[in-house]
Structure 1
Amino acid sequence: MSVRSSILKGASILSASQGLVAISSMLRNIIVARHIDSENFGIATTFALTISLVEMTSNLALDRVLVQDDEGDSDAMLGSAHLIQFAKGILIALVLIAIAGPVANLFGLPHLIHAFQLVALIPALHGLMHFDFVVRQRKLDFFPTALFDTLPELLTLLVALLATLIFDDYRVMLTVILLQAVLSVVASHLLARRPYRWTFNWPLARRKLRFGWPLLINGFLMFGIFQGDRVIIGSQFDMHTLGWYSVAFSLCMLPTIIFAKLSASILMPILSRNRDNSEIFIPCCTMSLTACAAFGLLMVLGFALAGSALIQLSFGDQYIQAASVIVILSIMQALRVLRIAPSIIANSQGRTENAMIANIFRSLALPVAIYLAVTGHSVQAVAACGIAGEAVALGISVYLAPIKHGKVMFVRRLLLLSACGVAIATVTIGLAPAQTTAGEFSDLILQLFYGGAIALLLASLLALTDPHLRKECRHLWQRTRDTKTPEQSLINNDT
């Protein structure tokens, strides 16, 4: 099978799996949110924030090392990754137990210290993860990764349904997140071809730490960036406000996470193997940027035109206040999606400090958000701080992107895509009719499909402005018609 066919097959598998993950995750949140009130959903959100603290501040990117490093598929490298992962899991679990009290008090929930201590089980469980399924990405075999992502999510959906029969408060979400960790670890071992083992090899461990330390520091910054606004709102406002804000945040965040995982899994192997071949590397960089810009526009237009309907149809009228911030958050996430391209380009060359440095500048918006919250400004004002921070971080990330001979082309492409995206979004949102906030079911469905269709059409048109992407689309079209084309595929050159 050619590299191009492998990439297309991998993209199809990952797209399908991430689609299932998105649907399952959203349905799970809907089940929980509709079963409990907004205040309890706010409490449940504090557990999710604590888990994010664990995951983001302990990210050594061991899975990415196994894909990027030349010796990533060796038994010694895999065993070393397992040992580091286990040690990290135990250490983080002990830290979580120690800080459970202060975290509970921060959110005004001192009576729930025991619940925050239970969350410490999650990193301990993740410490037993088997990474063999990740190594198979080196050969563009994404099926194990797709199963690992999908199966636990689908089973967790069943867990959520069963938990609602037993509990009627925040314990529904606590049960779900604990069992999800168990299912993920079990899935990683079932998908492994090699036995689980530990290997102590200091040179290999040092290589992983050298690759991962910028990402570890970046994890602390990312927690503040991704979750800082919710921590501020949870500590300065009430749990009801945190509940509806989290609905808007999760709706905007979910597509970003899925797109980021999909992009990293597909683009990382291609860019890594062609980092010394500028004829392939530079066009792939610009295609990555175009895809990110198109997806960002899709998010902004989709939530602007159909966000209110989506909230009411999925989570219910008690969370309708989420519509007041969903456009602000979608713009922030669109800028974050744009940052994916230069970040992956840097990671493909082992330059993992790109995201860390960009996020240092992004985190400068947090003190402003804290000041606005403490001085009595609105939730919308707190959320808007993220837009300015993401814009600055994007500029820094592009400036640091290691594109030797195509930097000027990359920057010009970014400016053109940004200008077109802003113009399209401004005109479309300005001409759009007012969203229905308490309409009939049929009106909400119509608004949802209308908004989604318009967003998809305009985002697709923006994507097709890239000549290399148009060529790949023509090749894909010719392939589906089972005919040959005289043009040579860019990805087919990747051998």
Structure 2
Amino acid sequence: MLLVIHHDRTRRLLPICRQYDCAIGAGDGGCAGGCGTLSTRLRGAPSGGGLLMKKHSLKSGSVLLTANLAEMAFPFIRNVLLSRLLSQENFGVAVSLAMISAMIEIGFDFGIPVSAVRYTASDDPKKVLPTLQTLQLSRAVLAGALIMAMAPVLAIIFKSPHATWAYVAIGACSILRGFGNLGVKQAMRDFIYWPNSLTIILTQLAWTVTVVVAAWISPDYWVMAWGLLASVVASVITSHMLSRFSWRLGWHKAVANEATSFGKPLVPNGWVSAGLTLGDRAFIGWALGVHALAFYSVIFGTATLPRGAILRFLTSLFVPVFVDRPPDHPSVKKNCARWTLVLSLTAFLYAMGFIFAGTPLLPLLFGKTYAATPYLMSLIGLNLFVKFLYQLPSPVALAQGRSKLMLTCTVFSIIALGIGAAATLVVPSIDVFVLALTAAEIIAVLRIGMIAINTLGYSRGQVWLALLGPMAAIAVALAASLIFPAPPLLDWLLLGGALTSGGLIFYVVMAHVFIDPLKPALLRQAVSGLLNRRAVVVSEEP
């Protein structure tokens, strides 16, 4: 998510950091990245010339990249190992524990880590941090108390009354999280990223090691509670050790007023984000039980885990080219065409890789219990493609401050989730849920495409080709999975290779038509150079 900030008559973009990383305990997916992606461009860049700035950017980027990779890799590792060490029922309950903790934390997101970077009421961190830490602890107590009070109800919702005390323990972990030192966040204000990144990495490491060891000793759902506790303790201790300022509570009215004014609008947005990110899993757990939740979390969690990081990278790459450009600027239309091509191509390759490579690989990683049919994998692949294309208006809308367009996409997502849930109540099945959800989201993304064409200047022909062409290729895979429910692996992979190759040719033609015409002379030169290089290599062989 991005907030547009007007500062010195210049639009600056600040990725909003989530208080809690929602790559939830069992590696259930969600939005990895969290606080590691926080930008501090609210202040001036370090002085010292272009070379120094370049080195600084590379160093900062590598540190943040490492933290983001940790937030993707460790949840995936937890997912794989716990699916092997726990029974499906225990794994489902464990997922529900982490999921509830994540939903409450995201819902109560108050933007406090961001306030630790962006504060303006006082330039003295010794005044700012105690106030923010008081707010953080108050928020943590509220969130934790809510989970503890709801524990009996949550156990009933997920049909696991025996796990009531485990939900209570999750609430206690939320309270302990409030004792973290915000100094590691404040350091990013001065372009010091490594304390926060190291805190993230050690938190994920402690979580993963603890759940695996606990599952080895006593393989039940309590391993998730122990893992969450270890992650919180690691986060709190590391943040205290790496912070430049000691942890203490205090109150500065101006700082508190600024932080609450900034944070209040984030709370409703946080609950919407929690519902969109984890609402499908919560519904599956309630409607179909923890066995289905475990299965769905493995399949869909694996499918969506890298998606958020990819979208953040692509968006951050393209947003700057639209900033401070009026809608009628000559470069806007060309960059819209480039963005459409890159987004659609990325989504297509991502979906095809999941459908055809994921079908044989998931059972190898997670066990035969979590083997999905080619039909379900194709449905999820189509859903992944559509979810990528939801972001079609994002760079232009964010750069031009058209937040209502982003709200429209959110509303469409909520409606689609409701349609999927309603269909599942009629026919209780994961396949039915994904089918109804995907059908609704296809209609929604077509509407989003029309909005991008009519209001943002996207090319009508390219948008429809970028949407419908890849969906047609995925539909071929879907049809093949219906005609041949259990195709031989080689045939399935050959079909995937053929469809992917055809898709790449399709995108080359799209680039030729809508971006830059391919020049035959340059193509012949490239082919000739490749052949000449190959001839030289062959002639040098003994």
TM-score w.r.t. structure 2 length?
0.68
Question: Is 1:314 paired with 2:365?
Answer: yes
Name the counterpart of 2:150. Answer: 99
- Looking at structure 1, the residues matched to 119 and 469 of structure 2 have their Cα atoms a distance apart, in angstroms, of 38
Contact 1:218–1:356 under 8 Å retained in 2: no
> In the alignment, residue 51 of structure 1 is paired with which amino acid?
S
Contact 2:322–2:395 under 8 Å retained in 1: no
Name the counterpart of 2:275. Answer: 224
**What do the CA deviations read for 1:427-464 (whole angstroms, capped 9, x no partner)?**
7888999999799xxx79x9899979997997899699
Matches within 5 A, 1:56-455: 56-65=106-115, 75=125, 76-137=127-188, 142-198=193-249, 200-259=251-310, 271=320, 275-276=323-324, 292-321=343-372, 324-339=375-390, 355=406, 358-388=409-439, 390=441, 407-409=456-458, 417-419=466-468, 421-422=470-471, 425=474
- Looking at structure 2, the residues matched to 72 and 299 of structure 1 have their Cα atoms a distance apart, in angstroms, of 46
Q: CA deviation at 1:244?
A: 1.1
SS of the residue corresponding to residue 370 of structure 1 reads helix
Name the counterpart of 2:92. Answer: 42
RCO greater where, 1 or 2, for CA within 8 Å and sep 6 or more? 1
Cα 1:386–1:156, aligned 2, differ >3 Å: closer, same or farther? same
Between 1:452-461 and 1:235-244, the stretch displaced more is: 452-461
Greater gyration radius = 2
> In the alignment, residue 26 of structure 1 is paired with which amino acid?
F
- Looking at structure 2, the residues matched to 218 and 164 of structure 1 have their Cα atoms a distance apart, in angstroms, of 36
- Looking at structure 2, the residues matched to 263 and 202 of structure 1 have their Cα atoms a distance apart, in angstroms, of 39
Cα 1:333–1:146, aligned 2, differ >3 Å: closer, same or farther? farther
Which 5+ residue runs of structure 1 have no aligned equivalent? Answer: 469-495
How high is the sequence identity, in percent, across the aligned residues? 23
Between 1:176-185 and 1:137-146, the stretch displaced more is: 137-146
Q: CA deviation at 1:118?
A: 0.7
TM-score w.r.t. structure 1 length?
0.74
- Looking at structure 2, the residues matched to 82 and 352 of structure 1 have their Cα atoms a distance apart, in angstroms, of 30
Contact 2:373–2:485 under 8 Å retained in 1: no
Cα 1:307–1:258, aligned 2, differ >3 Å: closer, same or farther? same
SS of the residue corresponding to residue 325 of structure 1 reads helix
SS of the residue corresponding to residue 119 of structure 1 reads helix
Between 1:242-251 and 1:334-343, the stretch displaced more is: 334-343
> In the alignment, residue 112 of structure 2 is paired with which amino acid?
L
Contact 2:381–2:474 under 8 Å retained in 1: no
Contact 2:119–2:255 under 8 Å retained in 1: no
- Looking at structure 1, the residues matched to 447 and 136 of structure 2 have their Cα atoms a distance apart, in angstroms, of 31
Cα 1:262–1:132, aligned 2, differ >3 Å: closer, same or farther? farther
> In the alignment, residue 407 of structure 1 is paired with which amino acid?
L
SS of the residue corresponding to residue 164 of structure 2 reads helix
Cα 1:128–1:453, aligned 2, differ >3 Å: closer, same or farther? farther
> In the alignment, residue 297 of structure 2 is paired with which amino acid?
S
Cα 1:127–1:277, aligned 2, differ >3 Å: closer, same or farther? farther
> In the alignment, residue 130 of structure 1 is paired with which amino acid?
N
- Looking at structure 2, the residues matched to 6 and 281 of structure 1 have their Cα atoms a distance apart, in angstroms, of 29
In the alignment, which of 55, 58, 82 is matched to residue 32 of structure 1?
A: 82
Q: CA deviation at 1:115?
A: 0.9
In the alignment, which of 105, 114, 118 is matched to residue 55 of structure 1?
A: 105
Cα 1:360–1:23, aligned 2, differ >3 Å: closer, same or farther? same
User: Between Structure 1 and Structure 2, how many residues are aligned?
Assistant: 460
Between 1:353-362 and 1:70-79, the stretch displaced more is: 70-79
Which 5+ residue runs of structure 2 have no aligned equivalent? Answer: 1-49, 517-542
Between 1:196-205 and 1:23-32, the stretch displaced more is: 196-205
Between 1:215-224 and 1:5-14, the stretch displaced more is: 5-14
Contact 1:56–1:220 under 8 Å retained in 2: yes
Between 1:273-282 and 1:19-28, the stretch displaced more is: 273-282
